[in-house]
A = this chain, B = another copy of it.
Amino acid sequence: MSGTVQLTVTALDGIPDVEPGADLAALLIAAIERQQLAPRRHDVLVVTQKIVSKAEGRYLDLARLEPSARARQLAEITGKDARLVEAVLSQADEVLRAKRNVLIVATRAGLVIANAGIDQSNLAAQDHGRRVLLLPQDADASAERLRQRLEAHFQCDMGLLISDSAGRAWRCGTVGIAIGAAGVPSLWDRRGEQDLAGRPL
């Protein structure tokens, strides 16, 4: 199979529960080495938003939030907790859709996503659901910091993506999307190239 173009995706095992202030790069490096993986030039590490946000301590205590009039109005429309809506608005530039069970906003970072990407899934339950987790403040910067640590350790050029799960307009379910990237072009501009028949792309 020499000459065959292949891409292999390997799941990284044994990432512990990540606490605020944790050295996430060190946790990732340890997991990679425990699994005896040897990153090679241009390998890309995909890290979920959840553990990046946890390491960065992006928690918000809902009990400390005072919902604005706007938040209470959107809570009425969506049926969501007004304090959660307040948290969403704190991250949002613009509300794009609000209806029963749906609140889609454009975040300050430019992402269009339900609830500004804020959720409680896989958070420890001992605070009785008072805390929510925000997206990283600047996911590209978070990716870049992790990338630099990994490159320095493994002594090779690497890429790093921060992934989140998101719904897609007009389709059911959620899929993984990249919300931050470093060392990897996030958009490949092929305008000016030609298709098989010579038509310009």
Question: Is B7 in contact with A199, judged by CB distance below 8 angstroms?
Answer: no
Question: Is B169 in contact with A1, judged by CB distance below 8 angstroms?
Answer: no
Q: How far, in whole Å, are A7 and B188 apart by their CA atoms in the complex?
A: 24
Give min CB distance, A7 to chain B, whole Å: 4
Question: Is B121 in contact with A169, judged by CB distance below 8 angstroms?
Answer: no
Chain B residues whose CB sits within 8 angstroms of the CB of A170 once the complex forms: 106, 112, 169
> Which of B11, B112, B198 contacts A5, CB < 8 Å?
B11
Interface residues of A in 17-75 (CB under 8 A from B): 35-37
Q: How far, in whole Å, are A119 and B109 apart by their CA atoms in the complex?
A: 33
Interface of A is mostly: loop
CB closest residue in chain B, given A198? B125
Question: Is A8 in contact with B8, judged by CB distance below 8 angstroms?
Answer: yes
Given contact pairs A169-B112, A169-B168, A170-B112, A201 touches B8 in the complex (Cβ within 8 A):
no
Is A137 in the interface zone, CB < 8 Å from B? no
Given contact pairs A1-B36, A122-B196, A187-B173, A8 touches B11 in the complex (Cβ within 8 A):
no
> Which of B5, B37, B201 contacts A1, CB < 8 Å?
B37
| 6 pairs of A and B residues whose beta carbons are closest in the complex | A112-B170, A169-B169, A5-B11, A125-B197, A7-B9, A122-B196
